[in-house]
Chains A and B, each alone.
Chain A
């Protein structure tokens, strides 16, 4: 069975603070893919990043960075110098090689205050 845990239900920070959103996954598969999505107040989920299980290289995209560690089954997401526009619900998700669907975590609601 596959499972994604986002233990932080809600996080509140002040603008310009750095914030890390945690994601822990469970899978028995050796080939799998991890994703992060952002859901702003408008409601539409927006794809942020995809990572496959064979690529543990961390990735940085502007103020966003992702830390993938297979040893701890984690795929954490850090926003540097947060902005009010970063306020959203963020979802981590997992796809396994022998499944057609995608398993989502419960989401973390991030509020960035001015």
Chain B
């Protein structure tokens, strides 16, 4: 089974802090994704990566950056956390190509105070 793990289930940070959310997958998937999930809005794509060191902006990249130095790891960075970034963050991976389903991690619920 594909396993996608995220570094924290719950995280509380202060406004202005730099925040790192880590995601690791163990199935050699090419594509990795970061979403945020907010009530009534579903999942919105922040960034995705189709290969090592490659990244593309999703619908809501402002205030976020990403890093993919190794195939199995995809990091989401909040350079200066703000209260409107309080949300559930979901990481996903996919073998490659839109025909395949995405596999999701358990999510990180981030609260910025």
Contacts and interface: CB of A to CB of B under 8 A. Distances in A.
Interface string A24-57: 0000000001010100001111110010100000
Contacts, number: 55
Interface string B82-113: 00000010101000001111111111000000
Contacts of B35: 104
Contacts of B103: 47
Contact of A106 (B31, B42, B92, B105): B42
A52 B99 contact: yes
Interface of A: 4, 6, 9, 33, 35, 37, 42-47, 50, 52, 91, 95-97, 99-102, 104-107
Interface of B: 31, 33, 35, 40-45, 48, 50, 56, 58, 88, 90, 92, 98-107
